[in-house]
Amino acid sequence: MSIRVIKKGILDTIQDEGRYGYQHLGIHPSGVMDTVAMRMANTLIGNPIQEPVLEMHFPAPSLLFEEDTLIAISGADFDARLNRDLPILINRCIAIKAGTQLSFQQQIRGARAYIAVRGGVQSTLWLNSAATPVGFTSIGTQLQNEMILPFKNNDFQVAENKIFSWTALSPVNYQNTIIRYTAGHEISRLNDAMQTLVDNSTFILDKSSNRMGYRLVGPSIIPNTHTEILSTAVSRGTIQLLPSGQLIILMADHQTTGGYPRIGHIITADFPKLAQRNPGEGFQFKQVSLQEAHKALQAQELHLKQLETGCKLRMGDV
Amino acid sequence: MSVKYTYQCYAIGDHALTFSFGDRIDTTVNEYILQLFHLYRNFPWPGIKDCIPAYTTITFVYDALYFLNRKIDPIDTIQALVDELLIPNTVTHKKKTNNLVRIPVCYATCCAPDLASLATIKQITASELIQLHSSVTYRVFMNGFLPGFAYMGKVDEKINAPRLTSPRQKVPAGSVGIAGDQTGIYPMESPGGWQLIGRTPLSLFNTNAVKPCLLEPGDQVQFYPISWNEFQNWSAQ
């Protein structure tokens, strides 16, 4: 026994870094939306960084821990409480005593919260991955009421519920509303005025935005030519221009190929920022070079590596 | 194949690289793309997470940090690897025999909401349309859109059809459609804008199967008509 789902949330799934190696069959990678949050949650409790985690939206689930464990919550802040009372902060290592209930009171900030459990939970693998694409009931794990998520191994016993004192600082500045992108192959279809419009406008996430894609509400972007392109690969972060003049950004559950002009691609280092935007919230685009994109990713990686070292040292105190 | 192909290489963001060998549907070009794909699959390169062949392009999804941590440029490295594959003869002799898949299709009205109107527009009878659609051996140029969705071509120009101006919210699994000179089968219920001219009882995508997708790039496909009765009995099996 391990975690029992008392009440499921609106969309709680087990996710990992994605199911890669099958896109030639049209099988999309899926995986966590906020890659950094997944890694932080795992790092905080001494898990391997690629250990599958639980991704939650708001309203989030109520979970009962039937065994002692360590957990960490990262990403969005949904005002987590132990036994409906004790507030717990995100990005902390938390010792949980068997019989404790974890629930979430309100959406303070962010769109997706992640829970990592010491040692991980048993999850259904398909093609070597635990990732759960939305809309495919036969792939992955979506939480249901009364579902049991057994721990993989339980090497932990705790005396009482305890929030450890150290906080991990995320390398992502989630408050920043600038989302960086590199130019796409069809950006030349936009004249200078249109490109300026893309960079100088605020785009709002439409309410239909989900794990597949973010539909943006903003000025109409009119290309020089409306011809479709021959279906070819797209990827996470690809910004497509729809015939209506609206933009759509492909997210974790994106299709593998597409025929709409690709005017840009969100840089990997900014996926987490975008993943934590809610419908109705806005942001601005900023074009950067490929070199800048890679530098930003390396800086993020360095921060996360340092965090790993720090957490390893701290784990000695647990 | 003695033609020497030149490519245009461009980035799909900071984690993928596309090599484009043209901008028109062409069997020879696609054959070439798939040979590159199979060469890559036989000897995968470290740091590459996915390889996606399409009509005229092949895309490598890479782990940027794998390259950056080793202080090597991902673009230069992948380009050099592709150039190596392109050396004539390495490609020429590795032609893969294409798998032939026969697919039963029920062209009855209940399975084919757009068949009658398409036939009218094309000034042919419904049975001529069925005959034209099921008499060609199609090539799977690529998979995409949905898991197991195969883009097949080319359909006879007498029955090629534009996409619907307003896509359907729900297309049933197994629906066979036409868009331009392509034909395809929806592996699962989904929204879709292709004109629907039939439906197969076969399952195109099955997560429990060893080979989850019935159709893969490079496959040859033949459709053969079945009755509504046969369709129903097939589904019951």
Residue B74, in any domain of the structure: yes
Extract the tokens encoding A170: 């995320």
- Please tell me whether residues B139 and B226 are part of one structural domain: yes
- Examine the pLDDT at B3 and tell me if it is beyond 60: no
- Please tell me whether residues B220 and B176 are part of one structural domain: yes
- Examine the pLDDT at A156 and tell me if it is beyond 90: no
**pLDDT tens digits for range A241-284:** 998 999 999 999 999 999 999 999 999 999 999 999 999 999 99
Average pLDDT in chain A: 95
**pLDDT tens digits for range B31-70:** 999 999 999 999 899 999 999 999 999 999 999 999 999 9
Contact flag A233-B55 (C-beta cutoff 8 Å):
no
Residue B182, in any domain of the structure: yes
Query: Looking at residue B88, what is its pLDDT?
Result: 66
Query: Looking at residue A230, what is its pLDDT?
Result: 92
Domain end marker among B86, B121, B152: B86
Helix axes A35-44, A290-315, angle to 10 degrees: 20
Cis amide linkage into residue A305, ω under 30° from 0: no
Chain B residues with CB under 8 Å of A137 CB are none
Mutation choice for B interface testing from A50, A129, A257, A274 by most B CBs within 10 A: A257
Give the CA distances from residue A201 to residues A107, A190, A194, A216, A282, in Å, rounded to whole numbers and listed in that order: 27, 15, 11, 11, 10
Residue B95, in any domain of the structure: no
- Please tell me whether residues B180 and B66 are part of one structural domain: no
**d(Cα A211, Cα A226) in Å, to the nearest integer?**
27
The full set of domains in chain A, from first to last, is 3-168 (no CATH), 178-287 (2.40.100.10)
Q: Beta partners for B142?
A: B151
Residue that is written with structure tokens 């949050």 in the block: A37
- Please tell me whether residues B82 and B148 are part of one structural domain: no
Query: Looking at residue B94, what is its pLDDT?
Result: 52
CB pairs under 8 A between A and B: 134
Residue B108, in any domain of the structure: yes
Mean pLDDT on B131-150: 97
Extract the tokens encoding A298: 């390396």
- Please tell me whether residues B79 and B106 are part of one structural domain: no
Q: Give the pLDDT band of residue B93 (cuts 50, 70, 90).
A: very low
Residue B1, in any domain of the structure: no
Query: Looking at residue B237, what is its pLDDT?
Result: 59
- Please tell me whether residues B147 and B31 are part of one structural domain: no
Residue B3, in any domain of the structure: no
- Please tell me whether residues B190 and B110 are part of one structural domain: yes
Chain A residues with CB under 8 Å of B14 CB are 182, 265, 267-268, 290, 293-294, 297
As a residue count, chain A comes to 318
Cα A249 from chain centre: 14
- Secondary structure string (H, E, C) spanning A185-222: CCHHHCCHHHHHHHHHCEEEECCCCCCCEEEEECCCCC
Contact B155, B131 (CB under 8 A): no
**d(Cα B74, Cα B67) in Å, to the nearest integer?**
6
Residue B91, in any domain of the structure: no
Q: Give the pLDDT band of residue A318 (cuts 50, 70, 90).
A: confident
- Please tell me whether residues B71 and B116 are part of one structural domain: no
CATH of the domain at B113: 2.40.100.10
**pLDDT tens digits for range B185-226:** 999 999 999 999 999 999 999 999 999 999 999 999 999 999
The model's pTM: 0.95
Q: Which residue has the higher pLDDT, B235 or A210?
A: A210
Domain end marker among B86, B116, B148: B86
- Please tell me whether residues B76 and B143 are part of one structural domain: no
Residues 6+ apart with CB under 8 A from A231: A257, A258, A259, B54, B55, B142, B144, B145, B151
Contact flag B13-A266 (C-beta cutoff 8 Å):
yes
Domain end marker among B86, B113, B138: B86
Contact B142, B53 (CB under 8 A): yes
Which residues of chain A are at the B interface, by a Cβ-Cβ cutoff of 8 Å? 20-29, 126-127, 136, 138-139, 181-182, 184-185, 229-238, 255-258, 262, 265-268, 290, 293-294, 297-298, 301
Residue B26, in any domain of the structure: yes
- Please tell me whether residues B35 and B125 are part of one structural domain: no
Burial of B4 per CB tally in 10 Å (0-12, 13-18, 19+): exposed
**d(Cα A104, Cα A76) in Å, to the nearest integer?**
11
Query: Looking at residue B91, what is its pLDDT?
Result: 53
- Examine the pLDDT at B109 and tell me if it is beyond 90: yes
Of B8, B136, B13, give the one whose Cα is nearest residue A238: B13
Long-range contacts made by residues B118-125, C-beta under 8 angstroms, separation at least 24?
B118/B159, B118/B161, B118/B178, B118/B195, B118/B197, B121/B161, B122/B158, B122/B159, B122/B161, B124/B158, B124/B159
Average pLDDT in chain B: 92
**d(Cα A241, Cα A246) in Å, to the nearest integer?**
6
CATH of the domain at B78: 3.30.1360.40
H or E stretch at A138: none
Query: Looking at residue B95, what is its pLDDT?
Result: 55
- Please tell me whether residues B12 and B109 are part of one structural domain: no
Query: Looking at residue B87, what is its pLDDT?
Result: 76
- Examine the pLDDT at B2 and tell me if it is beyond 50: no
- Examine the pLDDT at B4 and tell me if it is beyond 90: no
- Please tell me whether residues B187 and B227 are part of one structural domain: yes
Chain A residues with CB under 8 Å of B20 CB are 232
Q: By residue range, what is the domain housing residue B68?
A: 8-86
**pLDDT tens digits for range B151-195:** 999 999 999 999 888 889 999 999 999 999 999 999 999 999 999
Mutation choice for A interface testing from B19, B37, B50, B66 by most A CBs within 10 A: B50
Q: What is the tally of structural domains in chain B?
A: 2
Contact flag A25-B54 (C-beta cutoff 8 Å):
no
